[in-house]
Amino acid sequence: MKPLRKCLIGLGVLALAAAVLLWFLPARWAMPWIEPQLHGLQLQQVQGTLWHGRADEVVAADGQALGRLQWRLSRRALLGQVRLQLQFEGPRLAFSGGVRRLPDGQVEVSDASVRAELAAWTHAAMPPWGQPRGELQVAIGHALLQGGWPMQLQAQAQWPQALMHTTQDGDVALGMLQAQASAQGGVIRAQLHDDGRGPLHADGKLQLSPLGWRLDATLRARQTDPALRRWLARLGPPAADGSVRLQRRGGLAGSAPAPSTN
């Protein structure tokens, strides 16, 4: 009995030591298991624990420094309930919010905010209507992602001091533009408008799905800014009141007739 008792005591001590180590596991020790799941991203200058830590540098696969990351991971992850509180700060993108992985593989995002510097995400080629400039701010109350696409969504976005950078007229000021978006069944619907005080009146609807997109909007200059009026004329022929109707679509769903709202 004594050898068995000693064996059980030894196993108990090992189990306790393993539990303590896991409870206070340094984050840098876990990096060999975490980084293969980050699609080429590397976490450098890692500090803290697996449950509450930070990486002072997040580096892309091409070596570009993206920003810094802080996280809190619930210890319920030991029971398969992965809940994260993330805060990422970078010159081009910032994100903070809660992330939870569901048993069916979907990801739930809640109470999140996103800030993106639009100039950093535009392509080198300049389209006729120009490239967006300024900061896009998005507040996500709730999102349910499947394969990275929102199956459900409740969000608001605003583009303060919106600009379009053009080769013909330089920066064209659009004012404050806003949107409210919702999604159900993987179809995103957004209402687009301005704040009622800027140089551009905007009112429109945007629909997105994995199969395509559709935009229907009316734009009109409130002021006599010649650069803004020339920019609008490049988007389409002005009506008698100076407004321009935008109707754009793409993809399989975008080519289908718009559903009736009656």
pLDDT tens string 197-218: 999 999 999 999 999 999 999 9
- Domain extents in the chain: 40-91, 92-252
pLDDT at 21: 46
As a whole number of angstroms, the distance between CA 110 and CA 130 comes to 34
In this prediction, what percent of the chain has a pLDDT beyond 70? Answer: 86
- Structure token pair of residue 9: 């005591």
pLDDT tens string 41-98: 999 999 998 889 999 999 998 888 999 999 999 888 777 788 999 999 999 999 999 9
Summary mean pLDDT of the chain = 86
Phi-psi region of 87 (alpha: psi -120 to 50; beta: other; left: phi over 0): beta
- Structure token pair of residue 24: 């206070």
Average pLDDT over residues 124-132: 81
Contact 120, 133 (CB under 8 A): no
